[in-house]
A = this chain, B = another copy of it.
Amino acid sequence: MNNPAGNAAMSQRTPFNQPKTARGEATKKAILSAAERVIGARGYNDASIGQITSEAGVAQGTFYIYFKTKEEVFSELVLEMGRLVRHTISDATQAISNRLEAERAGLMAFLEFVQAHPDLYRIVQEAQFVDPDAYLEYYSAFAEGYRGGLREAAQAGQISEGNSDTRAWALMGIARALGEQIVVFGNKTPIPDLVDTAYDLIANGLKP
């Protein structure tokens, strides 16, 4: 009842100790980047603070200058992934006015991003179990934008009618499954081929 940092609903909002000098800034970045590699490779529970600080080249106690707990560094990584992915996709699609074309470009950008950042991808997936709030926020932010785009496209006649909420989740499910193929299952199919097949399915369906 006396948690000054806030409750679960806003747990992401207050990094309790922002660095105040360039040196501190650099150290925190080093720890975050080490945490991304170590947690991405070994998973949250098998990753120890000792491994992270050693990978970052700092002492173990230094970790707690910048993060209250092990979970906090994890949350920050999930937030970072959310920002990066949204930025990447929005960059790749904002110049495209046709929704179906945007769909294709967004999928391509997403798959290229996860291929380039496999550790971040795994961390977001694991967030479902380590930090459900962060996980929910990640996908909700995504789905909201997606749903809006689909709704407008339907009204503009660019795509057929249909429940935009459910559609948004289904399309995100496709993107996630293909990302998982690349990162988790090591599928070697070239990304453009994956995108071609998925786009054809999304645009035309399975009917002959």
Whether A94 sits at the interface, judged by CB under 8 Å, is no
Given that A166-B197, A173-B177 are known contacts, is A159 also in contact with B45, CB under 8 Å in the complex? no
Say whether A198 contacts B166, CB under 8 Å: yes
Say whether A163 contacts B193, CB under 8 Å: yes
List B contacts of A208 (CB < 8 A). Answer: 157-160
Nearest B residue to A172 via CB reads: B177
A residues contacting B by CB (< 8 A) are: 43-45, 99-100, 103, 125-126, 128-129, 136, 139, 157-160, 162-163, 165-167, 169-170, 172-178, 180-181, 184-185, 189, 193-194, 197-198, 200-208
Say whether B177 contacts A170, CB under 8 Å: yes
26 contacts between A and B (CB under 8 A): A44-B129, A99-B206, A100-B206, A100-B207, A125-B128, A126-B128, A128-B184, A129-B129, A136-B185, A139-B185, A158-B208, A162-B201, A163-B189, A165-B189, A166-B194, A167-B201, A167-B206, A169-B178, A169-B180, A173-B173, A173-B176, A174-B174, A176-B177, A201-B202, A202-B205, A204-B207
Say whether A43 contacts B129, CB under 8 Å: yes
Tell me the bound Cα distance from A51 to B30 in angstroms. 39
Say whether B163 contacts A197, CB under 8 Å: yes
Tell me the bound Cα distance from A198 to B86 in angstroms. 24
List B contacts of A165 (CB < 8 A). Answer: 189
Say whether A193 contacts B178, CB under 8 Å: no
List B contacts of A125 (CB < 8 A). Answer: 128-129
Say whether A169 contacts B181, CB under 8 Å: yes
